[in-house]
Structure formats: structure tokens, C-alpha cells
Amino acid sequence: MKVSVWVAPVASVIILLGSVGVATVTGDWVTSGRQQFVQGQETSSGDVKGWMTLEGVAQGAGIGLDELIKEAGLPADIATRVPLKDLKETLPDFEISEVRDAVERLS
């Protein structure tokens, strides 16, 4: 049986976009493994990742930002909205483990 030349491309696009639509509705369209913090949500030190910011860690752990910075031994004027993995560019001796340890002690 002859089929229109448009069937394959149109059906392919519909199937692809339809699947994304269905997955979005069912909550299965997840494109990132990064769980967003909720205010005051408990965060264990092991949850501290390089992509997180100091603000995000403090918020997630339910501790004060200034308190976290002081406990981690970081300068008071440190950028708090920069991913932790990028802080090394301005603070060569910085290690993410310092923040993890600080969260551990403060939690």
C-alpha cells in the first residue's frame, strides 16, 4: 500500500513531541538530577555538590548564610551566588569539603 510522503516525518515529530508532552503531564520529564532546595529543607553534608551555591546550601540546610561562611572559614565578602566548583577561581585553596564539613558541624 502506498503511503503519503508526509506520513513518516509528520508522525515522527508527533511521536517525539507527544512523548515529551505525556512525560511532562505525568511528571516524568526530568532533565536534571539537581534537586532544588526548599526553604528550610534538611540537607545533609553529603548532599552538597559543586553546582550548588553557598546561598543554596545555607537555605537547604536551614542555617544562616553568614554562619555557614564563618564556620567554613571563608572570607565574609565571598560570592554567595556562584557555584561552589567555580569558587576555586577566586579562592585557589578552596575545597568543597570545607563547606560539607561546616554543614556537618552546624546541622
Partner 1 sequence: MQRVKRARHLTQFVFGGFIIVAGVRHQLSPDGGTASVDALCPFGAVETLATWIMTGAMISKIHPSNLVLGLALLVGTLLVGNAFCGWICPFGAIQDALSWVRRTLHIPSVTLPHALDAALRWGRFVVLAVILYFSYATARLWFADYDPYVTLFGLHWLFEGPSDALWIALGILGVVVAGSVVIDRFWCRYLCPLGGVLSVVGRFSLIRIRRSTASCTDCTLCDKPCPVGIEPSKAKPFVSADCIGCMDCVATCPVPHALTLSAPVFLGIPRPGAEPAPTATRAHRESVHAGRES
Residue ranges that bind partner 1, judged by CB under 8 A? 1-9, 11-13, 15-16, 18-20, 23, 28-34, 36, 51-53, 56, 81, 83
In the complex, the smallest distance separating the C-beta of residue 43 from partner 1, rounded to whole angstroms, is 14
C-alpha cell at 97: 569539603
C-alpha cell at 79: 560570592
Task: Confirm if 91 and 98 have CB atoms less than 8 A apart.
Answer: no
Give whichever of 15 and 105 is closer to partner 1, judged by the CB atom.
15
Task: Confirm if 39 and 59 have CB atoms less than 8 A apart.
Answer: yes
In the complex, the smallest distance separating the C-beta of residue 35 from partner 1, rounded to whole angstroms, is 9
Spacing of C-alpha 88 from chain mean position: 18
Give whichever of 82 and 106 is closer to partner 1, judged by the CB atom.
82
Give whichever of 81 and 93 is closer to partner 1, judged by the CB atom.
81
In the complex, the smallest distance separating the C-beta of residue 81 from partner 1, rounded to whole angstroms, is 6
Cα-Cα-Cα-Cα dihedral sign, residues 61, 67, 70, 71: negative
Spacing of C-alpha 24 from chain mean position: 19
Give whichever of 57 and 63 is closer to partner 1, judged by the CB atom.
57
In the complex, the smallest distance separating the C-beta of residue 68 from partner 1, rounded to whole angstroms, is 17
